Structure 1
Amino acid sequence: MSQYNEILRTYRNKSALQYNFMCLKSEIIYTKCYVFGYLLVLLKAKFVIQ
């Protein structure tokens, strides 16, 4: 929770909407990277099995 408060302190000068958009954007990018990495691992495993 203290980390969350620190983040709020860091972005207190920005608007709440902008902050929420930034969080959403980074979350989407993280999810894409995670899914891509997972698929890459599956592909590698598939080639190793064959």
Structure 2
Amino acid sequence: MRTRLLQGLSLFSTGLLAGAFGYGAANLVPTFNAVPLEMRLDFHP
């Protein structure tokens, strides 16, 4: 019973991590690429 609970918890946490990376790839990367390079570099010292 304890092994099954740990396996379920590890599968759930792996799914959350994969979902976070999937969200970043699907939404944040295209938005980041849409901003011109000069504007991005203005915010970095």
* TM band (smaller chain): 0.5 to 0.7
TM-score, normalising length: structure 2: 0.64
- Relative contact order: is structure 1 or structure 2 higher (C-alpha 8 Å, sep ≥ 6)? 1
Q: Which runs of 4+ in 1 moved over 6 A?
A: none
Query: Sequence identity, in percent?
Result: 0
Structure 2 unaligned segments of length 5 or more: list them.
Answer: 37-45
Aligned residues between the structures: 35
TM-score, with structure 1 as normaliser: 0.59
Structure 1 gaps, min length 5: 1-14
- 2:14 equivalent among 28, 33, 45: 28
